[in-house]
Amino acid sequence: MPPETPQPQATVRDVTQILTRTRGLVDPVLRRAVQQLHPHIGEMAGFALGWRELDGTSRVGQNGKGLRPAIVLLAARASGARPEAAVDGAVAIELVHTFSLVHDDIMDGDERRRHRDTVWKAYGVGPAVLTGDTLLALAMDTLAQAGTPQAAAALRRLSSTLLELVRGQAEDVAFESRPWSCPDAVTVEEYQAMAAGKTGALLACAAAVGALLGGGSPSATAAMSRLGRHLGLAFQAVDDLLGIWGDPEVTGKPVFSDLRSGKKTLPIVAALASGGDGASRLASLLGARPDDVTLRRAAGLVRELGGLAYTRERAELHLHEALRLLEAPELERTAAGELAALARFVVDRAH
């Protein structure tokens, strides 16, 4: 009997192929759009999109993962259309995603992303604000100028998603001034509502925009939207795990990054919600000056109090819901299979 092919390996190969194929369709259109910008802004946009270094040299193979554009194109295919029908949507979603990274890094004071300086750190706050504004304007304009009824519906969806995104970000910012301990600590429910807006909304929009541009029915579009929301919540849960236990070599951020910057992420919120002595000890560790010994102890305590297990369980649950939605018989099978591979990939990053 031949040895079984290990499932994760096959998934990674599939996913790499999907992302490469997506990039082949989306990148040329994205680059043409960015080339029309003011040269200074185009330079910063290229840096934010991972195409160029600070010194102007071009950069290959280290772009963002391109997960969102892939979801757009696959959602269009799952709705029975060719992926080409949804390229403008994929461009718009990637631009909005990049806009939100550039502005969120200013708000959060984050200095590093993907092993490089963030845009505000590299070019200054003012130019980073303008770069974000420009990416957002370009996103809206890409769909607005397409001029079809499908594109108009996609634009409506994108603009309501933007309101969800900024509300999620506002909630995240408001969490910063909340205490670590009861009764005013951030609850698990509040955290999940924030994450549904901040990360879930754009992935839900990516899948819905793909379905809309692919001519999907209202019910198929709604199902795709739900799929994207679950994927986003799984993604955020995994990101929260990596924000504490991720390898700095892989994440491009310092070790214990989220603990260091005092972020209230799901493992921490869940651990604090366990109550009792452990939670009190954790709260006082998190309130202390963050040296490496304290951070290591806090990370250990978060795990002990069940924060890691709970967060992993949430990721698996949302993955499960996403996979279940992909079993719907009206979906084109190959595309649904590829979306499932992407979904598994998102969660497997945590292992």
Is 193 a binding residue for a copy of itself by CB under 8 A? The answer is: no
Q: How far apart are the first and last CA of the chain?
A: 29
Q: Which of 12, 29, 122, 144 binds a copy of itself (CB under 8 A)?
A: 144
Structure token pair of residue 211? 């379905």
Find the shortest distance in angstroms from Cβ 350 to a copy of itself.
29
Find the shortest distance in angstroms from Cβ 172 to a copy of itself.
10
Structure token pair of residue 294? 């304290």
Report the C-alpha gap between 301 and 335 in whole angstroms: 42
Stretch that binds a copy of itself, among 170-178, 179-187, 208-216, 330-338 (CB under 8 A): 170-178
Report the C-alpha gap between 85 and 93 in whole angstroms: 14
Per-position b or e across 54-66, b if 16+ CB within 10 A of its CB = eeeeeeeeeebeb
Find the shortest distance in angstroms from Cβ 125 to a copy of itself.
6
Of 22 and 161, the one with the shorter C-beta distance to a copy of itself is 161
Is 125 a binding residue for a copy of itself by CB under 8 A? The answer is: yes
184-190 long-range contacts, CB within 8 A, separation 24+? 185/269, 185/272, 185/273, 185/283, 186/264, 186/269, 187/269, 187/273, 188/266, 188/269, 188/270, 188/273
Is 171 a binding residue for a copy of itself by CB under 8 A? The answer is: yes
H or E stretch covering 277: helix 276-287
Of 37 and 285, the one with the shorter C-beta distance to a copy of itself is 37
Closest CA relative to residue 142, chosen from 86, 77, 104: 86
Is 81 a binding residue for a copy of itself by CB under 8 A? The answer is: no
Find the shortest distance in angstroms from Cβ 209 to a copy of itself.
13
Find the shortest distance in angstroms from Cβ 111 to a copy of itself.
14
Is 159 a binding residue for a copy of itself by CB under 8 A? The answer is: yes
Report the C-alpha gap between 128 and 122 in whole angstroms: 9
Is 136 a binding residue for a copy of itself by CB under 8 A? The answer is: yes
Q: Which of 10, 54, 174, 182 binds a copy of itself (CB under 8 A)?
A: 174
114: left (phi over 0), alpha (psi -120 to 50) or beta: left
Stretch that binds a copy of itself, among 59-67, 119-127, 242-250, 304-312 (CB under 8 A): 119-127
H or E stretch covering 45: helix 39-48
Is 108 a binding residue for a copy of itself by CB under 8 A? The answer is: yes
Stretch that binds a copy of itself, among 127-135, 227-235, 245-253, 272-280 (CB under 8 A): 127-135
Sign of CA dihedral 266, 269, 275, 279: positive
Is 222 a binding residue for a copy of itself by CB under 8 A? The answer is: no
Q: Which of 82, 156, 324, 333 binds a copy of itself (CB under 8 A)?
A: 156
Binding interface with a copy of itself (CB under 8 A): 37-38, 40-41, 103, 106-109, 125-127, 129-130, 132-134, 136-138, 140-141, 144-145, 147, 152, 155-156, 159-160, 162-163, 165-167, 169-171, 173-174
